[in-house]
Amino acid sequence: MTRRYFGTDGIRGTANGEVMTAALAMKVGQAAGTLMRKGSHRHRVLIGKDTRLSGYMLEQALTAGFTSVGMDVVQVGPMPTPAVALLTREMRADLGVMLSASHNPFHDNGIKLFGRDGFKISDADEAAIEALIDGEVALASPEAIGRARRIDDARGRYIHAVKAAFPEGLTLEGLKVAIDCANGAAWRVAPEALWELGATLETIGAAPDGFNINRDCGSTHPEALAARVRASGADIGIALDGDADRLIVCDETGAVIDGDQIMAAIAGHWQATGRLRGGSVVATVMSNLGLERHLAGMGLGLVRTPVGDRHVLKAMRESGCNVGGEQSGHIILADHATTGDGLLAALQLLGLLALSGKPASALLRVFEPLPQLLRNVRYANGHQPLEDARVKQAIAAAERALAGQGRLLVRPSGTEPLIRVMAEGEDKALVSETVAEVCAAIEAAA
C-alpha cells in the first residue's frame, strides 16, 4: 500500500516544506493520540527531540495535537532516540515521539513513533494514523483536554540505564576518548556518561546552535574526529549521529571502523562469554561479505535483511538473536535496548578496550573486508530510473560480470530521491568498473 506520509523510518521532510509543517505535526498528534487512547486510564505521550531549530515548532504543534484529544504530554527536550524509546517504556507512556531527521542536515526533520513497549509502532498502526490524519478526529471536551509538562531528570535516567549495561566494577580510567556528538541529541548525555565512568575526554560536535547538527561532524563525517584522535593521542574516537542511534569509531591511528566491524567485535566477545543468543548476527544486505565469512569461521550465521533498522529488529525478534545492526552504524543490542543505540554500543566497545589492554586497531579490526564501493545517484522527483531499459541492461551486465566473484546491490533510498549502487568482490578494479557503469546508466535515465 502506498503511504502518503510515513516512509521507512517515520515521517520525514524539509521543515516548513511540503510535508513537515506545524499543521501536519498537530494532525499527527491528534491522529496518533486518538489511536493510542485505549482504556479508561489517564493517557500519556512522551516527546523528545534533537537540536534542530524546527524542533521547537514541531514539539509545540505535536503537544497541541495530543492535548486537544485528551492526552497528557511529557516533554524531555533534546534526547537520543534510544532514550525516548527507553523512557516511554519506563514511564508507562502510551506512546513515545522522537523529533529528528537522524543524520540529515538541519533543514530536515522527522517524526518517529514508539509504542508503550519501546518498540517502533507497527506498519498497521502507521496506516491507521495516516487514515486519521486525512480524516476527522473527535476533540476532547473542555474538561478533558490534556496537560503538558517538561521533566528535568530524563538525562540522568538515560545515563543510568546505559551505564547499567557496562561491566560492573569496570571503569574507563586511563583511557582517553575522543567523542563527536554531531551537535545533536547526545551533546550532553554522551560526554557525561563517559566522564562518570572515568574517561579522559576530547569532545567535539557538542555546541549545537539549531543549524549545525551533522554539519561536517558526526558518524557521516568522521574526518573531524579522526583528526582530533591523531592530534590528541586519544585511544579511540566515537562518532554519533544527530539522534545518537548510530555509531562509527576511529581507532588510535584515526582509521575509521564501521558498523560491520563493531558487530563482529561485540558478537565475538559475547560468544566467548556465553552471552550471544540465536547463533547468528542480524545485518542488512549492505554488510560486507567479509563479515559473513568471519562469522562463519566462528560457527555463527549472518541473517541478512532489507536496509533499515526496523527490518533488522524484526528479524532479531523472530530469530532470538541479540546482536544486530547495519554497516552504517545502527547497532541493536537486544538485551539492553529496543532500537539502535550509539552510546550503548560505544560503551560495550570501551569495556572491551579496558578489559583487554589492546589498542583499538588490534581489538576492533576483526576481519578483512572485501573491496566494496557504494555510490549514490540523485534523480528528479517523479522519475523512475530503475524502470528504464538501459538501467536494467546495465544491472544485468554487472551481475554477470560479478557472478561467482562478488555481488551487486541497487536500491532506492527510503528517505531521499537517490539510487544507491553497491558492489563488492575479490577484484577491486572490477567492483569499481561495475559500479561506474550502472551509475552512468542511472544518470542517463534520471
Please give the share of the chain, as a percent, with pLDDT higher than 70.
Answer: 99
Alpha-carbon span 411 to 160, nearest angstrom: 39
pLDDT at 417: 86
| Residue 234 confidence (pLDDT) above 80 | yes
List the Cα angle 357/359/361 in 5-degree steps.
Answer: 150
Please give the share of the chain, as a percent, with pLDDT higher than 90.
Answer: 90
Least confident of 131-135, 158-162, 380-384: 380-384
- Verify whether residue 102 is a known catalytic residue: yes
Pairing of strands 418-425, 406-412: antiparallel
Question: Average pLDDT, stretch 120-126?
Answer: 94
Split at pLDDT 50, 70, 90, the class of 38 is: confident
| Residue 1 confidence (pLDDT) above 60 | no
Buried-exposed string 244-264: b where 16+ CB fall within 10 A, e elsewhere: bbbbbbbbbebbbbbbbbbbb
pLDDT tens digits for range 329-362: 999 999 999 999 999 999 999 999 999 999 999 9
Alpha-carbon span 11 to 6, nearest angstrom: 5
Contact at 8 Å (CB) between 99 and 20?
Answer: no
Question: If you average pLDDT over every residue of the chain, what do you get?
Answer: 95
Least confident of 80-94, 260-274, 306-320, 407-421: 407-421
Higher pLDDT, 383 or 235: 235
CA of 321: how far to CAs of 56, 193, 283, 315, 340, in Å? 38, 27, 11, 8, 14
Q: How many residues does the chain have?
A: 446
Buried-exposed string 346-369: b where 16+ CB fall within 10 A, e elsewhere: bbbbbbbbbeeeeebeebbbbbeb
pLDDT at 232: 98
pLDDT at 2: 66
Which residue out of 54, 68, 100, 102 is catalytically annotated? 102
pLDDT at 224: 95
| Residue 419 confidence (pLDDT) above 90 | yes
* Domains of the chain, first to last: 6-153 (3.40.120.10), 163-363 (3.40.120.10), 372-445 (3.30.310.50)
pLDDT tens digits for range 236-295: 999 999 999 999 999 999 999 999 999 999 999 999 999 999 999 999 999 999 999 999
